[in-house]
Homo-oligomer: A and B are copies of this chain.
Amino acid sequence: MTTIYDLARVTGISKSTVSRVVSGQGYVSAAKRQRILAAMRELHYIPNQRAKNLRRQRTNTIGFLLREYFPLAGEFMDVFVHEAARYGFTVNVYFTQNAETERQTLDLLASGALDAVFILTRINDWDVISRYTQFGPIATWQRVDRPDIYSNYLDHYPLYLKILEQLYREGHRQIGHVLSDRSSANTQARLRAIATFQARHPDAAMTFVCHFATQQNAGKTAAKRWLAAAARPHAVVFFADYVAAEFVATLRRAGGACPPDCTVVSTDNSAIAKLTAIRTMDLGFRSQACNGVRYLVGQLTDQELAAETIRPHWVKA
């Protein structure tokens, strides 16, 4: 490993001048710069990142935290990593699994291993997570209203209402709902939308409602319940494309087809929706990923990076 010290020794120029050339900061005479540059090439000099990190108190690394893997997480990460790279940041992935591990991972912020953290799906209370903002900026995909945690969320209430109204217009009077965990803010918004819709249209039956904490097997279970239901809803709205796709696949295995047996609607616009031809509404996760990065980078570099505007829209099949 060639170091800056070697370059200084070989060229007979001081370490600091070499450092100036290497980092491109400060004035150096053309003659010396050339000599140093030549030596750099000759000795295959590559600056030591670890030393830089210690010295500058930065690692240019963002932690990407999620409880566990789900297909959309991969697509989200794709966008996130690309956007971070644009600003010279790299992304470290962590599966948090439980509250304890999540806290330990957040400690990496305090230890200086991470400059910032993005939480795709959380475990601990926001109060707990919030404490870590003293060590670095935190952003999340989830919906929170806190001054210290950035959340680029969308209110699901009007959107869900829009979906329901659309189905009503198409003639559906029995609509099922497959929702995420009850505690999630988005689920609560959707439940409120259901209540509003119900009040508006007393002729619509909204009795089929399921909740799932994870995406794994949710679609399968929902399909079984649908098959066993006394009054099967002819339209079901899902909280994730993956779950919707699993629902469709399970139904198909049981000899059904969606449609006509059941109209399936979801809200991600993921690769899976495209493949399985599920009707889906794009809620702008790609923009949310970009905005998350921009907020974090903005905080770290003390600048205001413009956020992309999220435009939810139906994806034509």
Contacts and interface: CB of A to CB of B under 8 A. Distances in A.
A241 to B, nearest CB: 10
A310 interface: no
Given A54-B54, A77-B93, A90-B92, A113 B49 contact: yes
Given A77-B93, A272-B272, A276-B276, A50 B47 contact: no
Contacts of A246: 274-275
Interface string A27-59: 000000000000000000011111101100101
Contacts of A73: 74
10 contacts: A50-B59, A61-B92, A69-B77, A74-B77, A78-B95, A91-B93, A242-B275, A249-B274, A249-B277, A275-B276
Contact of A49 (B75, B90, B108, B271): B108
Sort chain A's interface into a size bin: 35 or more
A69 to B, nearest CB: 4
A266 to B, nearest CB: 13
A171 B271 CA distance: 34
Contacts of A71: 71, 74, 271-272
A148 interface: no
A109 to B, nearest CB: 9
Contacts of A253: 277
Given A74-B74, A111-B49, A245 B95 contact: no
Interface of A: 1, 46-51, 53-54, 57, 59, 61, 69, 71, 73-75, 77-78, 81-82, 85, 90-95, 107-108, 110-113, 242, 245-246, 249, 252-253, 271-272, 274-277
A165 to B, nearest CB: 27
A92 B92 contact: yes
B69 A95 contact: no
Given A73-B74, A113-B49, A277-B253, A92 B91 contact: yes
Contacts of A50: 50, 53-54, 57, 59, 112-113
